[in-house]
């Protein structure tokens, strides 16, 4: 990832090249970071000149993006606390159990049920329950993703090599040149239409490995309201967390 130093700030950005571009576009998004879409033939020196010229605007936009929504309150993992799956909130019930060595988690009758060893401190409780919830999200999320994958692969005429939920710090989704698609596991907290948008977004890269007009037209042909879904994720993405 290229980096440009502006004063004391290092600006990292991705570059995409598109045949149908006539000038350089700069896109700043939460989680996606800074992305430049440039015409083929533009030199590295020209791109650095554009980034330098636009640096104040880029930094201002980054500040705005990071202030899109109020950060969620830190999770305490106490009874009554809500955790979101596919856009719906489910309450957590925590009870202590004698003789237990490690925390356990299950999902029963629309609630997360956690059992923790008697005497476990809050730091250890949070660490263990965070890990167990993440495992739960991955297991159930992967099943849901596979069912949606069948639907959209048929509609879009594509066939990825592999699709998985995984840890991704700075992306909601990634499509590799080998046809592997990786989705940020936290997306499974969002409503199903948002999950579908991220999945379709990455599947479309199997036909267009860029964000050209042709790419977005293809996405629109599958999800006519993709812009509203994208905006929901831009605004609400920071709340999809177990932190």
Q: What is the pLDDT of residues 208-234, one digit of tens each?
A: 988 888 999 999 999 999 999 998 988
pTM of the predicted model as reported, rounded to 2 decimal places: 0.76
**HSE of 140, CA atoms in CB hemisphere, 13 A:** 15
Given a contact cutoff of 8 angstroms between Cβ atoms, the answer to whether 15 and 44 are in contact is no
Angle between helices 192-204 and 213-222 (to 10 degrees): 140
Any bridge partners for residue 95, and if so which?
A: 115
What is the model's pLDDT at position 158? 96
Across 51-140, the runs of DSSP E, i.e. the strands, are 82-85, 88-97, 104-108, 111-117
Q: Which tens digits make up the pLDDT trace of 165-197?
A: 998 866 899 899 899 999 999 999 999 999 999
* Ordered domains of the chain (ranges, CATH): 3-66 (no CATH), 82-139 (no CATH), 141-239 (3.30.2010.10)
Give, as one character, the DSSP assignment of residue 241. -
Backbone angles phi, psi at 46, to 5 degrees: -65, -40
What is the model's pLDDT at position 102? 94
What is the model's pLDDT at position 67? 62
What is the model's pLDDT at position 78? 94
Low-confidence ranges of the chain (pLDDT < 70): 1, 30-32, 65-71, 169-170
């Amino acid at each position: 990832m290229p980096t440009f130093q502006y004063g004391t700030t290092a600006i990292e950005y991705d570059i995409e090249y598109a045949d149908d571009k006539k000038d350089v576009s700069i896109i700043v998004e939460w989680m996606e970071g800074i992305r430049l879409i440039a015409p083929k033939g533009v030199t590295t020196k020209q791109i650095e000149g554009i980034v330098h010229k636009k640096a104040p605007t880029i930094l201002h936009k980054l500040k705005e993006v990071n202030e899109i929504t109020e950060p969620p309150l830190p999770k305490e993992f106490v009874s009554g606390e809500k955790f979101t799956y596919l856009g719906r909130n489910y309450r957590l019930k925590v009870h202590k159990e004698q003789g237990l060595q490690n925390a356990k988690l299950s999902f029963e009758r629309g609630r997360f049920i956690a059992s923790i060893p008697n005497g476990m401190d809050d730091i250890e409780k949070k660490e263990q329950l965070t890990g167990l919830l993440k495992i739960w999200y991955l297991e159930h999320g992967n099943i849901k993703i596979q069912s949606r994958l069948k639907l959209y692969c048929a509609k879009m005429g594509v066939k990825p090599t592999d699709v998985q939920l995984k840890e991704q710090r700075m992306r909601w989704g990634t499509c590799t040149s080998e046809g592997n698609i990786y989705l940020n596991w936290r997306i499974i907290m969002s409503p199903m239409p948002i999950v579908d948008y991220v999945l379709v977004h990455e599947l479309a890269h199997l036909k267009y490995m860029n964000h050209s007009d042709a790419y977005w037209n293809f996405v629109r042909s599958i999800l006519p309201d993709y812009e509203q879904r994208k905006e929901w994720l831009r605004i609400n993405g920071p709340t999809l967390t177990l932190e």
